[in-house]
Structure 1
Amino acid sequence: MGLLQIGASILTALLIGALTSAARRAAAVRTRFTQTARTYLLLVFSILAVYWFQPLVPLRSFDFWLPSLTLALVVLTWFITSSGGDRSSSWRAPQNLIALLLIAGLPALIDLSRYFLPEPLFTAAPPPRFILFLFFVIVLAIAIPLISWLSGRFRWVLSAAIVFLIIVLIILKTPALSLQTSVFLRTLMSRSSENASFTDLRWLGFSYIAFRLIHVLRDKQANRLPELSLAEFGTYVVFFPSLAAGPIDRAERFAQDLRKEFALTQDETLLAGQRIAIGLFKKFVIADTLALIALNDLLATQVRTAGWMWVIVYAYTFQIYFDFSGYTDIALGIARLAGINLPENFAAPYLKPNLAQFWNSWHMTLTQWVRNYFFNPFNRWMRGAKSIPAWGMLLIGQVATMALIGLWHGITLNFVLWGIWHGLGLFVQNRWSDFVRTRYPDLQQNRRLQTVLQIGSILVTFHFVALGWVFFALSEPVLSWQVFLKLFNLL
């Protein structure tokens, strides 16, 4: 998000919070009504944000079609996960009919605006002809009820939906597949494929959207998904403060915030404003300044001395933290203005004494998601293979999990190496901790030595993480290897 979008999001959240508080103070208005009205308002502005935040895509009208596909996936997932619930989850319930009208009607108005506005208001380029959007809606109106009917009779439909989301993620995250998809789409639209690029399919926030949808689908399979109205579900998936950069909330926790009583008090406004201000300072002052000297492909080839190479590696280490945590602070502050307490994503990660604690405080919602839906099930599956020793299961589980986190950022060798780096680091740290605990049981009784070891552990962990960012920041492993050699005066 840019400053304009952040500013608009702040004003929107303030407006929703103020309206909710005013309605709650009115004696004639019931609490249930204000909660429902707030949910609809959040849904409306989140739908508009899906289109407005979507960056320009070189493929014709895809800055309209990609957000529309996001909303289609939201509706489809809600339909196939709400079957068999109470009346509130039925699409015929009044609140769900209203949500359906909003989800279909707002994009229709955005599309129709091409006929009466000189410039597009919510899309980066003019939207497509309305007849195309109408055809899109008709296809969905036939396909979604059919798939929903199938999901009520065949459990494999939920698994197929998860596989579909994973395939889309793989295509978007793999440069070669993204390029071929762009070539195919350009050919389909009778356009030259010479300018096709793997960056053509920049689908705003899809990494986060896909993980939210997979979370809901997996919880439905495990029979632990609570009943959600379409408005609640849609707002959860495309909530505008967390749309572009997370965090990845849980549906049941998010719904609790929507349903609870909320009044935007002066103290709440002040706390939210402080969080937003801190985030803005982190992102646009510290992170953007550090970006001028942070490690990148160009500087990696230009810097010759070990000292300056350490400087740019340190700069990148802090730049990525202040950039990401800054956006998170902004998102949490904006959400708080609207009465939603999004989960924390960072907790002083660079001050942790070991790698396990680092990953419990860095991008925490992603780590928790991967732990719940990959690491724990994968470990349970490996326990069935009695031929694998305990240390082998630990090694395989940690390396596979961290490699998956790397692949979530992009299916390229540099991200895989970054994930393996952390997976091996977690394994070594676990083995070392067990060795020290059994070999030196009285170590913790020496407070002075414990303090020295704590400081040393923080420094070692920090530098291990900083060196790992070399893989993350650079596009080619060969370049990363050259940086490592320069860091230690070997090149």
Structure 2
Amino acid sequence: MSFFSGLDFFITLIIAIIPAIVIGLNGKSLRYYRGFLTCIFIYLIYRNSLMELAFLTGYSAMSLGLVKLYLLSRIKMGRNKFFYASAVIITLCPLILSKLESFVGHGFFGSGSTIFGFLGLSYIFFRVIQTIIEIYDGIINEIKWYEFLEFLLFFPTLSSGPIDRSRRFSQDYSKIYTGKEYSELLSNGIVKIMWGLLYKLPLSGTAMYIMNTYMINKYDPIHIIGYAYSYGLYMFFDFAGYSLMAVGTGYILGIKVPDNFNKPFISIDIKDFWDRWHITLSHWFRDFIFSRFLFNSLSKKRFKSKLTAASAGLMINMALMGIWHGLELHYIAYGVYHGILLVIAELYQKKSRFYKLHKRDKVYKIVSWFITLNLVMFGFLIFSGQGRAAAIGLIEYLR
């Protein structure tokens, strides 16, 4: 069984949420039933891989112990940078080892298996690091073990997000909705699930079929462009569909999981795109990598200007995002590519008089949208791992 995939998962999900609907419509707390369902679904998903289940359990327990210990040290010793850095590094180590293991040997045991990795590691990592950073900032002053574990393991968002924030999750965790409030939440959740199914099944499947049947391994310009577009549409419908179903399921269980996509292909510039695409991931990197780098650089006068500091921050931010996807060259190139685009956009929008004069003009917005869309689709070609083959094939074709 896999999350939001296959008839067995959806039949189980439908059966499982019926009691939740009854509980919610009667104005009762969903907290205990939601926790029970998370345990059940984790068992069903991981039962065929006891090693993954063991590492998921171990990493979650370690994370709970670590944040509790770090919170205690923060209260007793203040903003000690050694303890802060140690907590971040300990949390980061399994993720680094998993990425290295996957890159170097596709698993030390072969067949793509990994010792350190497990389904959901990357997304749990984001939640743990966010909690540690906000403890360091003094924003979080209490950790309830049961609430923290459900925040890490909440099953709709465990394997691929969206990436929630602990304080936002906490607002919903103990909330008891009235029947009327829950009825609205339920209807919104069902609508999101239905849209997710539409995205995930016919639309994603059609884009994949076109890509694999008509576009792949053909290196004339038309087929390369067709591959980039069909792959980009496949990525969007597949991931946005998953995200919508995760968000909708969260709603039905009383958690208002944040949306992850907002019409990204209507973006009028690359900055607008990253405010619409994989929103919870891009905003996580913005808040915890870019903004902190920029503030630290300005306070230490590391660069001559704020614009230079912002440009360096954008490059670091996007390169790290690429590395997070994997250590393969095409993932790193994808991150660097988008970093360069964001730097160019930042410099152009801050320095260009033409932009300031025309940015609200309708024709300008249409041209900017068209350029942005094609830059984004070229980025997906890089991300797909087919960029090098397409470049070599195109050179051969043009000869």
The offset of 1:434, in angstroms, is 2.7
Change (3 A) 1:72 1:207: same
Q: Aligned AA for 1:170? A: I
Specify whether residues 210 and 325 from structure 1 end up closer, same or farther in structure 2 by C-alpha distance, changes over 3 A only: same
Quick check: 1:246 aligned with 2:246? Answer: no
Residue 232 of structure 1 deviates from its aligned partner by 1.4
* 2:362 counterpart of 1:451: yes
Which secondary structure state, in structure 2, belongs to the residue aligned with residue 294 of structure 1? helix
Within the candidate set 5, 15, 21, 2:19 is matched to 15
Q: Among 132, 140, 144, which residue is 1:225 paired with?
A: 140
Q: How does 1:391-410 map to 2 (within 5 A)?
A: 391-410=307-326
Cα offset for 1:234?
1.2
Q: 2:63 touches 2:91 (CA, 8 Å); kept in 1?
A: no
Separation in 2 of the partners of 1:13 and 1:358? 34
Structure 1 residues 151 and 54, CA, compared in 2 at 3 Å: closer, same or farther? farther
Q: Quote the sequence identity (%).
A: 23
- Give the Cα separation in 1 of the matches to 2:372 and 2:47: 37
Tell me how far apart the structure 1 counterparts of residues 62 and 245 of structure 2 sit (CA, whole Å).
27
Which protein shows a greater Rg? 1
- CA offsets per residue over residues 18-67 of structure 1, 9 Å max, x none? 22443x3xxxxxxxxx54xx32322222133233223855xxx3133123
Say which is worse superposed, 423-432 or 347-356, in terms of deviation. 423-432
Task: Identify the residue that residue 355 of structure 1 maps to in structure 2.
Answer: 270
Q: Secondary structure at the match of 2:210?
A: coil
Aligned: 1:164 with 2:90: yes
Deviation at 1:276, TM superposition (A): 0.4
Let me know the Cα RMSD of the aligned residues: 3.0
Partner of 1:343: 258
* Structure 2 SS opposite 1:478: helix
Residue identity opposite 1:348 in structure 2? K
Q: What amino acid maps onto 2:383 in structure 1? A: F
1:270 to 1:462, Cα distance in 2 relative to 1, 3 A: same
Distance 2:178 2:394 in 1: 53
Which residue number in structure 2 is paired with residue 282 of structure 1?
Answer: 199
Partner residue, 2:380: 469
Paired residue secondary structure (1:414): helix
Q: Taking structure 1 as reference, are residues 385 and 7 closer, same or farther at Cα in structure 2, changes over 3 Å only?
A: farther
Q: How far off is 1:285 after superposition?
A: 1.4
Name the residue aligned to 1:140: none
Q: Calculate the TM-score normalised by the size of structure 2.
A: 0.87
Give the equivalent residue in structure 1 for 2:175: 260
Number of aligned positions between the proteins: 392
- Residue 196 of structure 1 deviates from its aligned partner by 5.4
CA contact (8 A) 1:55 1:202 kept: no
Q: Which string of whole-angstrom CA distances, capped at 9 and with x for unpartnered residues, describes residues 278-311 of structure 1?
A: 1011011111221123379x965x2132212222
Q: Which amino acid aligns with 1:167?
A: C
Amino acid at match of 1:466: M
Q: Distance in 1 between matches of 2:186 and 2:79?
A: 48
CA distance in 2, matches of 1:166, 1:407: 13
Cα 1:152–1:380 change in 2 (3 A) is closer
Q: Residue in 2 aligned with 1:189? A: none
Structure-to-structure mapping, 1:67-86, within 5 angstroms: 67-81=56-70, 83=72
Counterparts in 2 of 1:286-365, with a 5 A limit? 286-294=203-211, 300=216, 302-365=217-280
Runs of 4+ in 1 over 6 A off after TM superposition: 150-155
The offset of 1:259, in angstroms, is 2.4
Question: TM-score normalised to the size of structure 1?
Answer: 0.72
